[in-house]
Amino acid sequence: MILTDELLARVHESLREEPGTIDARRISRIAQAHGLILDRAGLLELTDQVRHHLEGLGPLHTLAAEGVSDILVNPDGSVWVDSAHGLERTDLTLSASEARALATRLASLGNRRLDDAMPWADAQLPGNLRFHGMLPPLSAGGASISLRRAAALPFSLKALEASGTLTPSGRALVEAIIHARLSFLVSGGTGSGKTTLLGAMLGAVDPRERVIIVEDATELRPAHPHVVHLQARHANAEGMGEINLATLIRQCLRMRPDRIVVGECRGEDIRELLQALNTGHEGGCGTLHANTAADVPARLEALGALAGLDPLALASQALSAITVVLHMHRSPDGRALSTIALLQRGGDGRLECVPAVSFGARERRFPAFDALEARLTQGGAL
């Protein structure tokens, strides 16, 4: 059964005249008025299509399969998906009007405005979906849609080892970092598996600990019995009501956290996180975009500059707040933990990231591994 524009328009008209749920009875009545006589299977299929077009992902809903992490609609209407196999183009193509209508509806579904006056939107959608949309002329040629789909069930460290994301020794070190309550950052590029690893690590935290997670949009869903989620709020159409990550980090200090987690450090909130971790809150963590572990200090300095911290002040704050960097790498073979490194002060007084152990075709240990081992032993994890 193919859903036609005329039939969809009649559904819209019906909903305007009689607001309510989209059920088989309503669709049957509209279909009969449209000259369609359907059997039960056809009616259920058509009802499902209408629901997806009006309440879900519309023409993209069949792409939201298990293992697909991203669904992307380009301005030319081409649709791509990202999975363990990498980016792949699908057979689906959206017209300019279809893409724009879908983008504006998804933004509305996430209580965001997307129109010519506000031509971009970022929203959290039902079903663990993160939406970003952009309209012309900012998106030249047509609407751009980016959908990131979080895993339905959180991964465990055991599952990450089984998938090859962690080696057996890498998993042992990651578990030791958690049990020693070392503060850490998970770094990596977009889609490298930072959030997946962090969520699995939080799932290994002692169940007696209270974990407070601060995020721009809820993506971390660790398998832990005591998690409190705090989510930032964007400004409304009038530019009012924004509550940013820095504010939420300050609030969580008053909520008796055992571990403070920031889903992604991306601005002046780095100052609040470092200050929070310097007030006796061990085992705090977060993720950070960086191409390599060695690039983490430069990334932290850039974020610190947004918060008014010079490189030396940033180094002093970071060294007493964060011990370990876990770097994730994505290759054609998949996502994997590539490096565990330590933050330290360089000869010029600025921050530097020194590798302790790397994973790949073979495991390689560096001189800093002794210092990592000492910290883990001191924390009672080894």
pLDDT digit string, tens, across residues 358-380:
998 899 999 999 999 999 998 77
Q: What CA–CA distance (Å, rounded) separates 64 from 60?
A: 7
What is the predicted pLDDT for the residue at 50? 65
**Secondary structure letter of residue 181 according to DSSP:** T
> In terms of Cα–Cα distance, which of 372, 335, 337 is closest to 353?
372
Spell out a b/e string for 300-330, using b for 16 or more CB atoms within 10 Å of the CB, else e. Answer: bbebbeebebebeebbbbbbebbbbbbbbbb
Architecture of the domain defined by 157-378: 3-Layer(aba) Sandwich (3.40)
What is the predicted pLDDT for the residue at 68? 87
Angular region, 320: left φ>0, alpha ψ -120 to 50, beta rest: alpha
> Is the pTM higher than 0.85?
no
The correct CATH number of 58-149 out of 3.30.70.20, 3.40.1190.20, 3.90.1170.50, 3.30.450.370 is 3.30.450.370
Phi and psi at residue 308, in whole multiples of 5°?
80, 20
Interhelix angle 5-17/24-33, nearest 10 degrees: 120
End-to-end CA distance of the chain: 61
What is the predicted pLDDT for the residue at 51? 65
What is the predicted pLDDT for the residue at 8? 62
What is the predicted pLDDT for the residue at 278? 87
- Counting as low any pLDDT under 70, the low residues of the chain are 1-23, 34-35, 37-38, 43, 45-55, 151-153, 237, 382
Q: What CA–CA distance (Å, rounded) separates 299 from 293?
A: 10
Per DSSP, helices labelled H in the chain are 5-17, 24-33, 40-55, 96-109, 157-163, 168-179, 194-203, 245-252, 269-277, 296-306, 311-321, 369-378
